[in-house]
Structure 1
Amino acid sequence: MIIKNLTKNFYINLFIIFSIFIIDRITKIYVVSVNSKNSYEDLYSSKFLNIHLIWNEGIAFGLFSFNSNNLYNLLTLIISIIVIIILKMIISSYGIKKYGLMMIFGGALGNLFDRIFYKAVPDFIDFHIGEFHWFVFNVADIFITIGVIIMIIFESILNGQKKNEHI
């Protein structure tokens, strides 16, 4: 019975991670294909949101872009190691923490895929207020951010409970 539940949970977890990866891939494939036809014009533009493609060769949100292949390869290796560590954490986690880690893993897997196959990550969501533009990001980044927020909340609640136990 325990093995049956573990197998069921494994497939549910795999489905969630794979769904995040597929949603990310579909949005990126769409934006890249439309942009190749429209020569990098805004696909959508409004008061607060623009959809336009940029290729991110750096880390999160375009930070630390690299022109060197050695630095790029090192970054890709580090991200790969982090993805493996997160996978191990998922296996040993439970409850809401597991879902946060799965969101981080699914998003990281999507961005790692792009980094390996395209040597850059397509970002296209640009929120702005007037002339102030936040970083351009993608769907994988949204899942990673939500996962990190879940982890922070989970750890805060857990730490609060531990403090109350010591009082």
Structure 2
Amino acid sequence: MTRRLFVANIVVVALSVLLDQLVKAIVVATMPLGSAIELLPFLALYHARNTGIAFSMFAGLGDIGLSLLAAAVLAVVLYLWWKTPAERRLTHFGLAVIVGGAIGNLIDRVRLGYVVDYVYFHTPAFDFAVFNLADACITVGAIIILLDEFILARTGASGRERAGSDAD
């Protein structure tokens, strides 16, 4: 990984963590637990605590178990990030966003024993899980990586092919 790419990735991670923690602090400071603010007919801010991981899975593992599990997953993602070739810039961006989201939720887990969630999509017939910006970062980062790996790399639009054609 080049120095410039490393610095750009660190900035993406830092911004993801900072924005995540800032929004969570605002929600905790201004909304009582369990309160909701309807923004649209299908979207609300809803102050919730998630004692599990995504969709409250593994809630029974406890704070230490979940923190260790999250740290292990983060270590694997960091290893994959380190092994990703520098020319795969879009994948690097996706991994940086994932790492930022994972760190944001890990901070909550270690500091509070739960993760603060606040985005609530719902319809009269369907309730989606309450989530936060860190969760969104993890999901969007994974989509970016899949897009780069399975679509852009095959069509020649990824950073890998561009870097090769720039050298010609």
| TM-score, length-scaled by structure 1 | 0.81
State which of 112, 115, 118 in structure 1 corresponds to 2:112.
Answer: 118
Q: Give the aligned residue type for 1:113.
A: I
1:140 and 2:134 aligned: yes
Deviation by residue 1:70-116 (Cα, 9 ceiling, x = unmatched): xx422221210111221222223231111111111100010011001
1:158 is displaced (CA, Å) by: 7.1
1:107 and 2:88 aligned: no
What root-mean-square deviation, in Å, do the aligned CA atoms of Structure 1 and Structure 2 show?
A: 2.1
State which of 21, 24, 27 in structure 2 corresponds to 1:25.
Answer: 21
Identity of aligned residues (%): 30
Unmatched runs of 5 consecutive residues or more in structure 2: 156-168
- The 1:47–1:89 alpha-carbon spacing in structure 2 relative to 1, beyond 3 Å, is same
- The 1:9–1:158 alpha-carbon spacing in structure 2 relative to 1, beyond 3 Å, is closer
Q: Specify the alignment match of 1:165 in structure 2.
A: none
Aligned residues of 1:47 and 1:130 also touching (Cα < 8 A): no
Q: Give the aligned residue type for 2:100.
A: G
Provide the secondary structure at the position in 2 that maps to 1:124: strand
Q: C-alpha distance in 2, partners of 1:11/1:154? A: 21
Provide the secondary structure at the position in 1 that maps to 2:31: helix
Unmatched runs of 5 consecutive residues or more in structure 1: 162-167
Deviation by residue 1:34-78 (Cα, 9 ceiling, x = unmatched): 124xx6421334311111111000111223322x54xx4222212
1:47 and 2:38 aligned: no
Aligned residues of 2:120 and 2:129 also touching (Cα < 8 A): yes
1:131 is displaced (CA, Å) by: 4.1
| TM-score, length-scaled by structure 2 | 0.81
Provide the secondary structure at the position in 1 that maps to 2:23: helix
State which of 78, 88, 103 in structure 2 corresponds to 1:87.
Answer: 78
Aligned residues of 2:81 and 2:92 also touching (Cα < 8 A): yes
Q: C-alpha distance in 2, partners of 1:146/1:87? A: 17
State which of 42, 63, 75 in structure 1 corresponds to 2:57.
Answer: 63
Q: C-alpha distance in 2, partners of 1:63/1:96? A: 29
Q: C-alpha distance in 1, partners of 2:25/2:80? A: 30
Aligned residues of 2:58 and 2:66 also touching (Cα < 8 A): no
Provide the secondary structure at the position in 2 that maps to 1:135: coil
Q: Name the count of aligned residue pairs.
A: 152
Q: Give the aligned residue type for 2:5.
A: N
